[in-house]
Amino acid sequence: MPETAASQQEIPIQPVEDPILSSPYEEPGEHWLYDEETGEPSKQTGRRPAFYFNEDPATDTAQQDLFSEENRRELALVNRLRKDVRRWRKDEKYENATPVTKKLLRHWSRDDLPRPLFFCQREAAETIIYLHEILGSGKTPRWNTELTLEDYERLKNGDEPSFSEELAGDLYPRLVDPPRDGDAPPLHRYACKMATGSGKTVIMAMLIAWAFCNRGRVPGDSRFPSAVLICAPNLTVRERLQVLRPDHPDSYYDEFEIVPSNLKPELNKGKVEVLNWHKLSPDDEQSKGSKAFDGKTHRVVRKGDESPEAFARRRLGPLYDEGSIMVLNDEAHHAHRYSSEDEATVWISGLDRINKACGIDLCVDLSATPFFLEGSEYSEGTPFPWIVSDFGLVDAIESGITKVPRLPTSDDSGRPDPKYFRLWDQVKDNLSSGDKLPGGAPKPEAVWRESEDALQTLASQWKQRFDLFEEAKPGQDQVPPVMIVVCNNTDTAKLFYERISGERREEVEEDGEAVEKTVYGEGRLLSEFENTAEHQNTVRIDSEALEKAESEELSKSEAAEQLRQIVSTVGKPGKPGENIRCVVSVEMLTEGWDANNVTHILGLRAFGTQLMCEQVAGRGLRRMDYSLNDEGQFDAEYVDIYGIPFSVIPFRGRQGDAPQPSDKPKNHVHAVEERADYEIQFPVVEGYAFSPDFSAQGNGITVDFDDVEPLVVTPEEAPTTVFVQPQVGYKKGEQARTGTFEFEVQDRSAFYDSTHLQTIKFEIARQITHSLTSSTDYSEEKGPKMRNRARHQLFPTVFQIVDRFVREKVSFRDCNPRELGLEKYTKRVVDRLLEAIEPADSEEEAPLLPVLNRYRETGSTSQVNFKTTKSCHPVQYSHLNQYAFDTETWEQSAAFFLEKLADEGTLECHARNERMEFTIPYEFEGTSHAYEPDFLARTQEGTTLIIEIKGREMEKDRQKHQAAKRWVKAVNNWGEMGKWKFIVCSDPQILTTKI
């Protein structure tokens, strides 16, 4: 493990060499267990029990004590059924099942099938069959079951089972979902929790085959429906589920050999209808808009004129005359009721009407996350109480069925936690007030600036995968890897799309009129992501257009449908989305999106719950290769994820609450009238201008390099190397250092290969030249402009300045010099040199002058008047009565030495710059800021000192100091408020040598 990770604490990392423990075709016999006190991993014999954590969405997900033992809830019904189904399956006896059912169950367990079925698929189907065919018929095996027949009847009636005391809280299992108005019969539901990529569609095919083959052999057995309605969340999934029609040319029954040949005729007797849930909306005048499961406005059911029978006949078509039907809900976490009495989702209330009209004999929900969403009567993230089978993400990872997520566990920044794990928090923490929109959201440009290093690193890793794809032999079935960028809003997504793809919309003049056209240019990441008129490599998901296309609205545009086709076929050979390499989106992409070539995901938004984290990460979990290795297991495949802090196996966090702040008395800090001689006045400078007599045409520009602050390129600002690990669980820092597993090292090599230092210098010089010549007037944002100076005349001089600055003033700290091409550093060089550039004037001229605030030209210590709970220390040689300090700091020590210097006669007076409103304007990374130095002081000779006490300097500090030097030069040129001097002191004890 790298030495830089030695200080990592409480970081979620994967401490095992190989997370895969089991064959995907066998019941898990081992699982990883993490000690909650030490974080030490160990292999445990047996299967991991089914449980969940009672997560409160209002709680910060960074608080890992959320996952403590007291918040753990067992899925008691699932664990009991696992034992019963295992016993029922033993020796393939399947007691009390029909001959057809036994034949199918034995057929599905064959290991010589063309595509053997995963154990999790078989177990989910077996559980539904056991409940419906065995317990539902009032039969029990001859051995003592964990779930008694009496308990089963209670669950179907909505009563509390006898084992509910195993569950904390008021949520207990049930197998019924009664309508709120009582006008329809209760809907009996079974839910299967299946990890993304574990094959829910195959399970649906198995259940359809079981029902149709049994009904075909015994037409009078009403336990087995001959009609199946499949409800899908959108048009893309509806199209994909057409393979569940027995007569479909690419049916799953043939591809997976779901049915033995002698049962094929029985299968073909049944009827299957696949509907988008929007089709369950009623056509009556009393329907009105309301927010449904995704927070958008949809139609919800009101009592209308259309009868349940008419509704069902119109929706079901030929299925209506088949009698009681079976319903399969795909992505069923959307299919839940609202808590209000008169409102329900379109999906479930539509099923209620069908149930009332013709009967729903069996309803099965399938989802990777069958938890209640916001708006239900339960807390967000609470599991459906009718979950009967669970094969979650961790089980799927340990069986090799899904890719293994790799998350940042350390980097070379020196931070106590890796920057790219909770990237959105890091982005927000680095924002200034100028980086935010009126509503508080970050400006898209600021999001790019603060996350570009993460994006470049992830893109470099993508490039390595892409190069392997390019080297593939002809005839190999491969598609390019895909990187996903999930943004916080559409404005951010638009900016990232334009900068990644190089594609943008611009107004151009044609025949004297302004026309908006698509323009293609160079992107800021990789050429492989750039779009051209002939090829689209990067796609941005327009949420509104995609929603319109997915909901099958008649008004959907051709562009919306084209977008849907591209998005839904990413990674599919021969399809519109085959060659897509990067997807920029706002939401979590289309539900049911089954692209298996996603290799990298960047999250640039808040993730309020672990449920959301898992849903977004799930878009990249589908495997590409399903061939077994020599050990009979799948080799691990990985997806690298930055910025999505999701927990796969959590551990107990730090305990104990922080003490509450005490109600301290307030101290009054103010100017003392009797000390008016110690008053310090200062100009309120808001910018700079050149003297009206100055013309850069003749004088040119220069930089005093001896007075220029250096620039440091360091991994502390933008980690150049990231260490990622496969994520199955958590482990604390101390244990991470002793593990035997290896880290995957990731860097920005592709960025380096495609970038030249000379090109970076030219770009910096171009930006500086543009800023100096973009206007003939003073600009608040960028400072003074050069009058009567053409850019081509000024550029050579600017480039020489940039070149010298890079050679003499930039410290790369062993980083690749091309790091300077990151916008974070490019902006800093531009800001630094704009602060340092001045006219090459003669000694008689003073062209650089301050621009004063037009409403308040001067400020003074007389304005200080505030109360504080901070500790205060009285002072004698100051216009102020006392100074406030948080704790014992260097500023407090500096105040002591300033008092000493005044007592010795070196200084006349001093003042701490707190609420005095003395600020110095400066630019940092393209954003305007205000710098507040620590102290002002006046010498006996009348020079006013600006004093900054600073230990370790960060890059922002250096920019502040450069701005202070510019401020001093302009104010001294002006000369109306005496002489000024700027002092930076790293140790208060040496103040005497600085003054």
Q: Which has the closest alpha carbon to 20: 604, 636, 599? A: 636
- Please state the domain extents for the chain: 75-398, 422-642, 667-686+852-994
pLDDT score, position 35:
65
903 vs 574: CA distance, rounded Å = 85
Instruction: Choose between 573 and 6: higher pLDDT.
Output: 573
pLDDT score, position 145:
93
What integer is the mean pLDDT of 601-612?
A: 83
Q: What is the pLDDT of residues 801-855, one digit of tens each?
A: 999 999 999 999 888 999 999 988 998 999 899 988 887 764 445 578 899 987 7
Q: What is the mean pLDDT of the chain?
A: 82
Q: What is the pLDDT of residues 880-912, one digit of tens each?
A: 999 988 766 788 889 999 999 999 999 999 999
**CATH 3.20.20 is the classification of domain 667-686+852-994:** no
Token code pair at residue 97: 């099942």
Instruction: Choose between 363 and 988: higher pLDDT.
Output: 363
355 vs 309: CA distance, rounded Å = 10
Q: What is the pLDDT of residues 515-542, one digit of tens each?
A: 888 999 999 999 999 999 999 999 998 7
pLDDT score, position 69:
53
Whether residue 837 contacts residue 772, with contact meaning beta carbons closer than 8 Å, is answered with yes
Given a cut of 70, whether residue 71 has pLDDT beyond it is: no
Q: What is the pLDDT of residues 27-52, one digit of tens each?
A: 999 988 776 665 566 788 999 999 87
H helical segments located in 811-954: 823-836, 890-903
pLDDT score, position 786:
57
pLDDT score, position 339:
53
What integer is the mean pLDDT of 676-690?
A: 91
Whether residue 10 contacts residue 654, with contact meaning beta carbons closer than 8 Å, is answered with yes
What integer is the mean pLDDT of 542-566?
A: 68
pLDDT score, position 54:
64
Q: What is the pLDDT of residues 186-223, one digit of tens each?
A: 999 999 999 988 999 999 999 999 999 999 999 999 99
Which residue type does 433 have? S
Token code pair at residue 500: 């990644």
Counting residues of the chain whose pLDDT is more than 70, the rounded percentage is 80
pLDDT score, position 726:
65
Given a cut of 50, whether residue 656 has pLDDT beyond it is: no
607 vs 430: CA distance, rounded Å = 18
Q: What is the pLDDT of residues 149-167, one digit of tens each?
A: 999 999 998 888 888 766 5
Whether residue 850 contacts residue 970, with contact meaning beta carbons closer than 8 Å, is answered with yes
Q: What is the pLDDT of residues 952-980, one digit of tens each?
A: 788 888 989 999 999 999 999 999 999 99
Residue 39: CB partners within 8 Å, gap ≥ 6? 15, 651, 730, 731, 732, 734, 735
Given a cut of 80, whether residue 359 has pLDDT beyond it is: yes
Q: Walk across the sheet containing 538-540 and list its strands.
A: 538-540, 582-585, 482-487, 598-604, 638-642, 404-411, 722-726, 744-746
Q: What is the pLDDT of residues 219-275, one digit of tens each?
A: 999 999 999 999 998 888 888 999 999 999 999 999 999 999 889 999 999 999 999
β-partners of residue 603 are: 486
Residue at token pair 């710059």:
913
Residue 182: CB partners within 8 Å, gap ≥ 6? none
pLDDT score, position 554:
44
* Cα four-point dihedral sign 892, 894, 896, 902: negative
Whether residue 782 contacts residue 682, with contact meaning beta carbons closer than 8 Å, is answered with no
Residue 384: CB partners within 8 Å, gap ≥ 6? 189, 191, 332, 336, 365, 370, 371, 372
**CA terminus-to-terminus distance, the chain:** 48
749 vs 174: CA distance, rounded Å = 55
940 vs 908: CA distance, rounded Å = 5
**CATH 3.40.50 is the classification of domain 422-642:** yes
Q: Which of 614-623, 655-664, 676-685 has the lowest mean pLDDT?
A: 655-664
Q: Give backbone dihedrals phi and psi of 74, rounded to 5 degrees, phi first.
A: -80, 140
Q: What is the pLDDT of residues 72-82, one digit of tens each?
A: 678 999 999 99
Q: What is the pLDDT of residues 438-491, one digit of tens each?
A: 888 899 999 999 999 999 999 999 998 888 888 765 545 568 899 999 999 999
pLDDT score, position 374:
72
